Amino acid sequence: MRLRTLVRSSSATVLLPLLIGFILLALGDDLTAWVTPHYWTSVTGSAAFALPFVAAACAGSAAWEGARLAKGQVFGHAPVRNPVAITLPLLLPVVAAGLLGILAALVTAAVAADVSFGLPQPGILAAVAAVLIANALVGSIIGRIMPGVLAAPLALIGSFVATAYPASWNVPWLRHLVGGGLSSCCSVDTSIDGRALLGTIVFTAGISAAALILIRFRGSVIPLTVAGVCFAGSLTGAWLLVRDLGSEAVQGRATSELACENTGRHQICLWPEVENAAQVRQDTSTAAEKLEQAGVPVPHTLTMAARPQPGAAKLGIAPDARPEEIPAGIASGLLPQPPTCALNGRPYPAGDAAVLMEAWLQTTAGTSMHTVKARFDPETVRLLQKLRALSPKQQLAWYERNHHAMSACDTKPQLNIPESRG
């Protein structure tokens, strides 16, 4: 069959504009809500949010194509080509339509992220393509055993349930079999975990192999057995890869990508996606010096790495951070992390001081009171104003006392602000 005839007669040709319209109109907000500015890996992960919808469309369209073959009794005669050679060309437009749908999602996320010239994350694209191919092959089998008016909606609904619902279950590893954790990738300090990608590819490759066996040899005992072995083997292999993953398919980004420079008394390490890096470093250095002048120890290195090295502090800012957001980014990295006893469920009374501590650190680093009022609740603002009325020495003593309390579970914080003694 000529390519033009194949495209003109395929159900995917009718489906494609509907699919792209659905992605742009119905999923546009979701594709752009959490994308990290200027970060191609995040753009590619955000585009994977559309995967369950696109996979369902591929499965439904493939089921229709399979039903057309069955209705025409193509496999009931003695064809020159084997069933796989007949089926695969009909599925090419289906998979191509799915990939174009993912491309539409990718462009939508890329525009929102304002990325520069670059390439999407290839591993995520490979996993997405593997899911689409598996859905198309399984959909074509459903179409061969059922009438098209039943096969298409059944394949569509079944595919959506299989790809979308595992992400809502409390068994985290299941979602990584069908790419359900890809859309949470990635903040600027994280990258995709290769185990999640391999798990998805291994599982869907096993399903595709099983489907090809059934298409070629149909449903006799031996092909069914071999197909079952392919499915079980891929499920086992994928489980071994993803069993230790949490709900998100991310890991800390390689710190070798950080650009570190000394500005003032501090070394400041930023990701390459940060806008106006020189100005950000200058603003960060200025805020850090204000904290040091107030008596707050600030490590020499301030880094955007997900897990700072010992002796460094986290700089929690976005790639497009504005100057007024930088003091908050420094303050968040100076607060003590909850101790192990608190993480194990023991009472942690000093945790009540964390919000006021952060507000004080932000204002000390240069955040205006007007901005603080917009970020914190009225009671915190009231206590902060009372605290700021104390002498610098009293404020520092209050900070050190509560900083020490937050490092243990058996020390109560000082939440009552003493009266100013001038």
Confidence (pLDDT) at 158: 95
In the structure encoding, which two tokens stand for residue 115, read together? 């990325």
Three-state secondary structure call for residue 268: strand
Region 349-364 average pLDDT = 89
Confidence (pLDDT) at 114: 92
Distances in Å between the alpha carbon of 109 and those of 23, 32, 34?
A: 11, 5, 9
In the structure encoding, which two tokens stand for residue 221, read together? 């005992």
Question: Which residue's entry shows tokens 């003695």?
Answer: 78
The residues that bridge with 350 in the sheet, in sequence order, are none
In the chain, count of helices (H) and strands (E)?
Answer: 18, 6
Region 374-391 average pLDDT = 90
Confidence (pLDDT) at 203: 97
What is the rounded average pLDDT for all residues in the chain? 90
* Cα–Cα distance measured from residue 382 to residue 210, given in angstroms and rounded to the nearest whole number: 66
The sheet carrying 312-314 orders its strands as: 259-263, 266-270, 301-303, 312-314
What are residue 16's phi and psi, to 5 degrees? -55, -50
* Cα–Cα distance measured from residue 191 to residue 189, given in angstroms and rounded to the nearest whole number: 7
Is residue 301 within 8 A of residue 313, CB to CB? The reply is yes
Question: Which residue's entry shows tokens 């194990």?
Answer: 344
* Amino acid at the residue 233: G
Confidence (pLDDT) at 349: 82
Region 280-285 average pLDDT = 94
Q: pLDDT-based confidence at 230, cuts 50/70/90?
A: very high
Phi-psi region of 264 (alpha: psi -120 to 50; beta: other; left: phi over 0): left
Residue 213: closest CA among 265, 141, 308, 272: 141
pLDDT at 421 over 60: no
pLDDT at 75 over 80: no
Confidence (pLDDT) at 74: 67
Instruction: Show the CA angle centred on residue 75, arms to residues 72 and 79, nearest 5°.
Output: 110
Residue 148: closest CA among 213, 68, 79, 45: 68
pLDDT by residue (tens digit) across 112-171? 999 988 899 999 999 999 999 999 999 999 998 888 789 999 999 999 999 999 988 889
Residue 182: closest CA among 57, 306, 55, 44: 44
80 against 40, higher pLDDT: 40
> Please, what is the angle between helix 122-145 and helix 194-217, to 10°?
30
Contact residues for 16 (Cβ-Cβ < 8 A; gap 6+): 97, 100, 101
**Three-class secondary structure assignment of 313-372:** EECCCCCCCCHHHHHHHHHHHHCCCCCHHHHCCCCCHHHHHHHHHHHHHHHHHCCCHHHH
Q: What does the DSSP assignment read for 178-242?
A: TTTTGGG---TTEEE-HHHHHHHHHHHHHHHHHHHHHHHHTTSHHHHHHHHHHHHHHHHHHHHHH
Share of the chain above pLDDT 70, in %: 96
Q: In the chain, helix, strand, coil percent, each to 5?
A: 65, 5, 30
Q: pLDDT-based confidence at 1, cuts 50/70/90?
A: low
Residue 286: closest CA among 258, 259, 324: 324
pTM, full prediction: 0.88
* Cα–Cα distance measured from residue 27 to residue 34, given in angstroms and rounded to the nearest whole number: 13
Share of the chain above pLDDT 90, in %: 65
Confidence (pLDDT) at 339: 80
The residues that bridge with 266 in the sheet, in sequence order, are 263
422 against 176, higher pLDDT: 176
81 against 179, higher pLDDT: 179
Region 243-263 average pLDDT = 91
Is residue 192 within 8 A of residue 121, CB to CB? The reply is yes
Q: pLDDT-based confidence at 409, cuts 50/70/90?
A: confident
Confidence (pLDDT) at 328: 93
pLDDT at 422 over 60: no
Region 13-42 average pLDDT = 93
